[in-house]
């Protein structure tokens, strides 16, 4: 079994779990789905630099072969942004729960009313 | 002054004035109108000083590349046509500003008024001086927007809001159509440069796209110039203050359509299609507007319909595609601007001084307001086309030209209808003057009130009427050269000799004119009977049609939104994922090639297989155990940990550090949110839905996994990373290539990312800070604590150990920060580590204790961080380097030895501050909310206890 297979299959499993959770009906589950999905995306991005063992991209006069630093830099910021996004999603979910009393996102509880818009003083 | 500078100054001046006026604000009327007047006057002086050379045939153009890729240049040009319009815009603008200064009542928002007026003036100048059609379109839209502000100036009035909205919908909508037409025109002509377009009439008219271009552009012009059937917005725009009407609806906004027709005359006109459409639309509008104007009772409404009629006349003249007709149009533009602005102003005066604009309540005003009466009557005579006024000459020329044109093969059609329209316009002009100023007063109260205004108010219309008279008496002296050169600019070639005079001998046009005047007098005499006769006439109400159209569009859009934009997130996410999955399948099928590539794999150690198994099991557990929320968090953190280990394994120490610290913060965040979210969720999904979702999820996982596998088993295709590796030490001054990439090579990306993070933090604050109000606050107060707590909320061991830990973690954070340039670490990681140290204090010692000891607010941290990063980047510009390029050098100090100072460290300080601020803002706010809820709950419990003991 190769490391490549392990990484690829782990990405696949995380994506599957992420999609499934994102399709659940409550905010917290959707957030968990997003988290799983982000793990997969970050891993995928990272893997685009291919897998390298024991050659960290710390420059030295004596070393010629390094792991690809560019995907690493991209993924580093991506991880931090993922946190920002998760935090925002969580807080949005919390606020919407506090406003409406429901943490469901399947549209069954919150009625779809088109009466809300006003300022439409056609007359 | 050099012309290029003049051009830029001309266009920029009104905008600067608008900004100044808006900046002053407050209640300084004299300052507001003073700046506006000064701006217009300076512009006028500039135009006049350039006039001689422009009329002399010199053309001036300046250009600055703006978006060269799409052919957009900030290019301005001035030719006689632009000169005349600019003169009108500035001259009448100046008079309107003076008039408006005296017209507006005490306490009105003069700052807003004059700022919007100047904004509008700038936009209009932009249209007439633009040398690039894309730039022209930008200014075109700007006039729609600024006129919206002006028409809706009295925003407390419903009809003002409606009128403004209608004007925006019609002219803005027409503007969108115009954009399409202009883009096609530019594409066909091969350039967006106005001069090039004007010179490519052959190409354009031969193009199969010509009819489309023509119709699209004409719709744009007709909506702006209120041509039938788009005329209905103009009367409703009369809800604007009168100075606005005088400005927008006499000389400027509505003339923009006419201007564009004239501007594009060389390239569009001359074809049968053009002549038929433009002439008939103009003819219908002219007649229709004049007919309606005859039976209106509101002064401004009469003027609005008469404007529609006069604009129809101009459009018709341009539609003839005859050179002399273009001359007549140019002359009439001048005349109309003068008498119509004067009439609007006098209508405003009458309204101002008598309290009503209803002509049926007025009459005999000549006795009480003689000056106004003289001005208005003269202007009305010019509108009627009576000699010896300017209006007579242009109307005569118009009638003369109608004889040259044969529409639909009927040579008599245009002259006859035009004579009828002329008769009607004599009728409404005479009625306006007669019913207003002569005869007996119809009602006593407005008559008793009325009197002439101060000189400030009648000066502006007075000047305009004087011009109208002089235009009739000395047409060649006053306007001959101008009209000739403007007409030359319109038709794109020099004009044959021009003779403007009142008397052209006895000809058919004179006969038509005499008939029109006689008919007009007849109309005035029998006006009452006519009124009765037409009252029963069924009039299609354009206003009602507009509103039913809007309401219809509204309903359709609403239905569409309800149908597509369901409130179910699940359905939308499902649809999105399905589409993506289908696209990947499509790509996999059509892409060809084998799944597995030739690259040799690395063999996996037993430990990595165990870790992989753990990750799989944890993911399955998350999915399977979705109802036990706290347990799920444990699985999630296990997954995060394994991914961090994977980063360690695959030579990415920076990523491992980041992943682990983010994991801690994320889990803390989710824990806190869970505390507030509803517990023990009932099972929601039905079985079939679960199967369906499961199938999609498996398919998606398989595809992405497959893609990853295909990628990993192939060699990368010439990556750019070698550049980063090669230049990291020599160019960026650091050995940690990942960090150097973040703060130097790709610092711009990083800057964007910290800004996004900062915005997320502030948005979170905005979402949470307001939860104490409204229904959210109510729900928060009734929040039930349902998790068992340890009786000791702050265990002393935990408190003490975290306090000892704080300085240690802080030192570790600083160490990681400082070494980041050369060893794993850096701003991101250090910020996360330090944030965790502080969050631990919140956890251990409670919100109050920690928050009271906080010195710097998180908002400040975010702002400071972004600022530092930006300043560092801009600093590089001073040294002629690229934005965000870094500089570094090595220094030696006794005891410490050699060390390096790099500007990248400063940038990293910015990164540190933003990340730290955003993380702290999110978590501290969340814990603040929880704490508030818990406290409310506690208070409630105690209250109940007290009641129970009583």
- Note whether A112 contacts B763, CB cutoff 8 Å: no
What CATH number should be reported for the domain holding residue A24?
1.10.287.3510
B568 CB burial (10 A radius; 0-12, 13-18, 19+): middle
Does residue B903 contact residue B744 with C-beta atoms inside 8 Å? Answer: no
Through-space distance between the first and last CA atoms of chain B, rounded to whole angstroms: 92
Question: Residue range B700-726: average pLDDT?
Answer: 88
Give the three-class secondary structure for B735: coil
Name the percent of chain B in helix, strand, coil, to the closest 5: 75, 5, 20
In a domain, A113, yes or no: no
Distance of CA B227 to the CA centre of its chain: 26
B424 or A105: which leads in pLDDT: B424
pLDDT bracket for residue B350 (50, 70, 90): confident
Q: Interface pTM (ipTM) of the complex?
A: 0.89
Through-space distance between the first and last CA atoms of chain A, rounded to whole angstroms: 73
A119 interfaces chain B, CB cutoff of 8 Å: no
Distance of CA B682 to the CA centre of its chain: 47
Percent of chain B residues topping a pLDDT of 70? 95
Question: Residue range B405-410: average pLDDT?
Answer: 77
Residues of B in contact with A12 (CB under 8 A): 701-702, 704-706, 708
- Note whether A8 contacts B705, CB cutoff 8 Å: yes
Does residue B918 contact residue B778 with C-beta atoms inside 8 Å? Answer: no
Question: Residue range B231-250: average pLDDT?
Answer: 86
pLDDT bracket for residue B438 (50, 70, 90): confident
Please write down the HEC assignment for all residues of B412-471: CHHHHHHHHHHHHHHHHHHHHHHHHHCCCCCCHHHHHHCCCCCHHHHHHHHHHHHHHHHH
pLDDT over threshold 70, residue B539: no
A72 interfaces chain B, CB cutoff of 8 Å: yes
Nearest CA in chain A to B767: A95
In which residue are the tokens 């999603």 written?
A89
Question: Residue range B721-748: average pLDDT?
Answer: 85
Residue count of chain A = 123
Does residue B119 contact residue B72 with C-beta atoms inside 8 Å? Answer: no
Question: Residue range B548-577: average pLDDT?
Answer: 82
Percent of chain B residues topping a pLDDT of 90? 24
Query: Which residue blocks in B225-355 are alpha helix, DSSP H?
Result: 233-236, 242-246, 253-263, 265-268, 272-294, 299-319, 323-354
| Angstrom distances, CA of residue A92 to CA of A20, A28, A79, B42, B98 | 21, 11, 20, 53, 53
Q: What is the pLDDT of residue B671?
A: 87
pLDDT over threshold 70, residue A15: yes
Q: What is the pLDDT of residue B760?
A: 92
Does residue B1 contact residue B45 with C-beta atoms inside 8 Å? Answer: no
Which residue among A4, A36, A103 sits closest to B602, beta carbon to beta carbon? A4
- Note whether A67 contacts B651, CB cutoff 8 Å: yes
Question: Residue range A113-119: average pLDDT?
Answer: 37
In a domain, A101, yes or no: yes
Which residue among A15, A81, A105 sits closest to B701, beta carbon to beta carbon? A15
pLDDT bracket for residue B919 (50, 70, 90): very high
Q: Could you read off the pLDDT of B814-856 as tens digits, one per residue? A: 998 888 888 888 889 999 999 999 888 888 887 778 888 887 8
Residues of A in contact with B649 (CB under 8 A): 3, 53
Q: Fill in the DSSP letter of residue B226.
A: T
pLDDT over threshold 60, residue A119: no
Q: B891: which strand partners?
A: B899
| Angstrom distances, CA of residue B530 to CA of B360, B427, B522 | 15, 12, 11
- Note whether B719 contacts A69, CB cutoff 8 Å: no
Residue count of chain B = 950
Q: What is the pLDDT of residue B695?
A: 93
Q: What is the pLDDT of residue A121?
A: 37
In a domain, A18, yes or no: yes
In a domain, A53, yes or no: yes
Stretch among B432-441, B478-487, B802-811 having the lowest mean pLDDT: B478-487
Q: Which of B199, B210, B208 has its CA nearest to residue B274?
A: B210
Round to whole Å and give the CA distance between B704 and A12: 6
| Angstrom distances, CA of residue B402 to CA of B325, B506, B762 | 9, 17, 67
pLDDT over threshold 80, residue B4: no
Round to whole Å and give the CA distance between A16 and B704: 9
Question: Residue range B443-461: average pLDDT?
Answer: 80
Q: Which of B328, B230, B214, B219 has its CA nearest to residue B285?
A: B230
Q: Could you read off the pLDDT of B252-304 as tens digits, one per residue? A: 888 899 999 999 988 888 888 888 899 899 999 999 888 888 888 888 888 88
In a domain, A120, yes or no: no
Q: Calculate how close chain B gets to A116, using CA atoms only, in Å.
A: 12
pLDDT over threshold 80, residue B526: no
Q: Which pairing describes strands B72-78 and B60-67: parallel, antiparallel, or unpaired? A: antiparallel
Q: What is the pLDDT of residue B15?
A: 92
Q: What is the pLDDT of residue B162?
A: 86
Residues of B in contact with A19 (CB under 8 A): 577, 693, 696-697, 700-701
pLDDT bracket for residue A113 (50, 70, 90): very low
Q: What is the pLDDT of residue B685?
A: 66
pLDDT over threshold 70, residue B537: no
pLDDT over threshold 80, residue A99: yes
Nearest CA in chain A to B752: A77
Q: Could you read off the pLDDT of B635-687 as tens digits, one per residue? A: 999 999 999 999 999 999 999 999 999 999 999 888 888 888 876 555 566 78
In a domain, A31, yes or no: yes
Residues of B in contact with A20 (CB under 8 A): 623, 693-694, 697
In a domain, A54, yes or no: yes
Range of the domain at A28: 2-107
Q: Give the CA count within 13 Å in the CB-facing half-sphere of A56.
A: 18
Q: What is the pLDDT of residue B127?
A: 93
Count of CB pairs separated by less than 8 Å, A with B: 348
pLDDT over threshold 80, residue B416: yes
Nearest CA in chain A to B621: A17
A63 interfaces chain B, CB cutoff of 8 Å: no
What kind and span of H or E run contains B75? Answer: strand B72-78
pLDDT bracket for residue B708 (50, 70, 90): very high
Q: What mean pLDDT value characterizes chain A? A: 82
Nearest CA in chain B to A81: B757
B409 or B671: which leads in pLDDT: B671
Q: What is the pLDDT of residue A118?
A: 37
A102 CB burial (10 A radius; 0-12, 13-18, 19+): middle
Give the three-class secondary structure for A2: strand
Q: Calculate how close chain A gets to B274, using CA atoms only, in Å.
A: 37
Global pTM reads: 0.65
B390-402 and B370-384 are packed helices; what angle lies between their axes, rounded to 10 degrees? 20
Give the three-class secondary structure for B410: strand
Q: Could you read off the pLDDT of B39-70 as tens digits, one per residue? A: 999 999 988 888 888 887 777 788 888 777 77
pLDDT over threshold 70, residue B109: yes
Question: Residue range B690-700: average pLDDT?
Answer: 92
Tally of structural domains, chain A = 1
Q: What mean pLDDT value characterizes chain B? A: 85
- Note whether A43 contacts B626, CB cutoff 8 Å: no
Buried/exposed B345-376: b ≥16 CB within 10 Å, e otherwise: bbbbbbbbbbebbbbebbbbbbebbebbbbbb
Q: Fill in the DSSP letter of residue B693.
A: H
In a domain, A70, yes or no: yes
Give the three-class secondary structure for B14: helix
What kind and span of H or E run contains B518? Answer: helix B508-525
B436 or B182: which leads in pLDDT: B182
Residues of B in contact with A13 (CB under 8 A): 615-616, 619-620, 701, 705
């Amino acid at each position: 079994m190769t490391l490549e297979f392990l990484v690829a299959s782990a990405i696949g499993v995380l994506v599957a779990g992420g999609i499934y959770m994102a399709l659940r009906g409550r905010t917290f589950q959707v957030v968990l789905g997003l988290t799983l999905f982000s793990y997969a995306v970050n891993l995928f991005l990272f893997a685009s630099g291919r897998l390298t063992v024991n050659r960290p991209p710390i420059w030295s006069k004596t070393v010629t072969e390094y792991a690809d630093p560019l995907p690493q830099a991209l993924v580093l910021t991506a991880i931090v942004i993922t946190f920002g996004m998760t935090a925002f999603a969580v807080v949005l979910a919390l606020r919407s729960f506090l406003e409406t009393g429901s943490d469901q996102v399947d549209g069954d509880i919150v009625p779809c009313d088109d009466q809300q818009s006003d300022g439409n003083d056609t007359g | 002054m050099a012309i290029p500078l003049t051009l830029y100054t001309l266009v920029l001046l009104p905008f600067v004035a608008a900004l100044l006026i808006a900046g002053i604000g407050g209640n300084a009327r004299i300052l507001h109108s003073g700046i506006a007047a000064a701006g217009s006057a300076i512009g006028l002086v500039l135009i006049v000083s350039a006039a001689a050379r422009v009329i002399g045939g010199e053309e001036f153009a300046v250009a600055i590349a703006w978006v060269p890729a799409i052919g957009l240049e900030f290019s301005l040009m001035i030719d006689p046509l632009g000169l005349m319009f600019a003169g009108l815009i500035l001259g009448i603008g100046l008079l309107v500003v003076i008039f408006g200064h005296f017209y507006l009542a005490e306490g009105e928002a003069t700052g807003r008024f004059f700022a919007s007026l100047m904004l509008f003036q700038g936009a209009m100048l932009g249209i007439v001086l633009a040398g690039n059609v894309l730039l022209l379109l930008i200014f075109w839209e700007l006039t729609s927007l600024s006129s919206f502000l002006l028409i809706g100036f009295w925003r407390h009035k419903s009809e003002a809001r409606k009128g403004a909205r209608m004007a925006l919908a019609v002219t803005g909508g027409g503007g969108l159509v115009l954009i399409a037409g202009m883009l096609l025109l530019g594409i066909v002509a091969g350039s967006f440069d106005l001069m090039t377009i004007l010179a490519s009439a052959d190409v354009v008219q031969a193009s199969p796209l010509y009819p489309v271009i023509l119709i699209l552009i004409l719709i744009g012009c007709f909506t702006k110039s209120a041509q039938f059937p788009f005329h209905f917005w103009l009367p409703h725009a009369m809800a604007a203050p009168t100075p606005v009407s005088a400005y927008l609806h006499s000389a400027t906004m509505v003339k923009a359509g006419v201007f564009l027709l004239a501007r594009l005359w060389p390239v569009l006109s001359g074809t049968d299609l053009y002549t038929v459409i433009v002439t008939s639309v103009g003819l219908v509008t002219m007649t229709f507007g004049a007919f309606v104007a005859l039976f209106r009772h509101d002064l401004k409404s009469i003027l609005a319909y008469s404007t529609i009629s006069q604009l129809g006349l101009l459009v018709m003249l341009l539609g003839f595609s005859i050179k002399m007709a273009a001359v007549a149009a140019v002359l009439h533009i001048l005349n109309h601007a003068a008498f119509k602005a004067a009439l609007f102003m006098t209508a405003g005066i009458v309204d101002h001084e008598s309290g009503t604009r209803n002509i049926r309540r007025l009459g005999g005003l000549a006795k009480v307001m003689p000056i106004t009466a003289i001005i208005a009557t003269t202007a009305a005579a010019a509108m009627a086309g009576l000699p010896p006024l300017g209006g007579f000459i242009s109307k005569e020329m118009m009638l003369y030209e109608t004889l040259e044109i044969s529409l639909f093969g009927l040579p008599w059609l245009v002259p006859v209808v035009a004579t009828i329209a002329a008769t009607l316009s004599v009728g409404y002009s005479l009625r306006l003057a007669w019913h207003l100023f002569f005869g007996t007063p119809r009602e006593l109260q407005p008559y008793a009130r009325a009197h002439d205004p101060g000189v400030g108010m009648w000066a502006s219309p007075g000047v305009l009427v004087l011009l109208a008279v002089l235009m009739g008496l000395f047409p060649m002296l006053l306007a001959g050269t101008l009209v000739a050169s403007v007409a030359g600019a319109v038709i794109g070639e020099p004009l044959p000799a021009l003779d403007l005079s009142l008397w052209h001998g006895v000809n058919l046009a004179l006969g038509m004119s005499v008939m029109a005047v006689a008919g007009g007098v007849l109309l005035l005499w029998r006006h009452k009977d006519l009124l009765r006769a037409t009252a029963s006439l069924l009039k299609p109400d354009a206003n009602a049609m507009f509103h039913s159209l809007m309401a219809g569009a509204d309903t359709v859009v609403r239905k569409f939104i309800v149908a597509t934009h369901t409130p179910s997130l699940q359905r939308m996410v499902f649809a999105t994922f399905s589409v993506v999955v289908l696209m990947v399948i499509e790509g996999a099928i059509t892409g060809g090639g084998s799944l597995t590539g030739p690259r040799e794999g690395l063999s996996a150690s037993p430990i990595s297989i165990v870790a992989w198994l753990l990750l799989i099991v944890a993911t399955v557990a998350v999915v399977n155990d979705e109802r036990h929320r706290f347990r799920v968090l444990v699985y999630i953190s296990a997954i995060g940990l394994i991914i961090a280990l994977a980063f360690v394994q695959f030579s990415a120490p920076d990523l491992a550090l980041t992943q682990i610290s983010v994991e801690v913060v994320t889990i803390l965040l989710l824990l806190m949110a869970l505390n507030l979210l509803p517990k023990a969720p009932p099972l929601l999904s039905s079985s079939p839905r679960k199967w369906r979702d499961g199938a999609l999820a498996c398919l998606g996982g398989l595809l992405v996994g497959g893609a990853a596998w295909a990628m990993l088993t192939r060699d990368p295709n010439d990556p750019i990373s070698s550049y980063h590796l090669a230049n990291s030490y020599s160019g960026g001054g650091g050995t940690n290539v990942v960090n150097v990439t973040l703060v130097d090579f790709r610092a711009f990306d990083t800057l964007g990312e910290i800004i996004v993070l900062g915005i997320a933090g502030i948005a979170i604050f905005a979402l949470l800070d307001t939860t104490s109000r409204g229904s959210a606050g109510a729900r928060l107060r009734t929040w039930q604590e349902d998790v068992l707590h340890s009786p000791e909320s702050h265990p002393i061991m935990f408190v003490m150990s975290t306090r000892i830990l704080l300085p240690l973690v802080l030192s570790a954070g600083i160490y990681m920060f400082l070494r980041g340039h050369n060893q794993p670490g850096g701003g991101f990681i250090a910020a996360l580590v330090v944030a965790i140290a502080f969050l631990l204090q919140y956890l251990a010692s409670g919100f109050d204790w920690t928050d009271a000891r906080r010195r710097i607010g998180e908002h400040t941290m975010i702002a400071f961080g972004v600022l530092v990063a930006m300043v560092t980047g801009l600093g590089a510009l001073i040294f002629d380097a690229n934005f965000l390029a870094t500089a570094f050098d090595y220094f030696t100090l006794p005891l410490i030895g050699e060390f390096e100072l790099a500007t990248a460290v400063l940038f990293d300080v910015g990164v540190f501050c933003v990340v730290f601020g955003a993380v702290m803002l999110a978590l501290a706010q969340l814990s603040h909310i929880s704490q508030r809820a818990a406290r409310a709950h506690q208070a409630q419990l105690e209250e109940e206890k007290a009641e129970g003991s009583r």
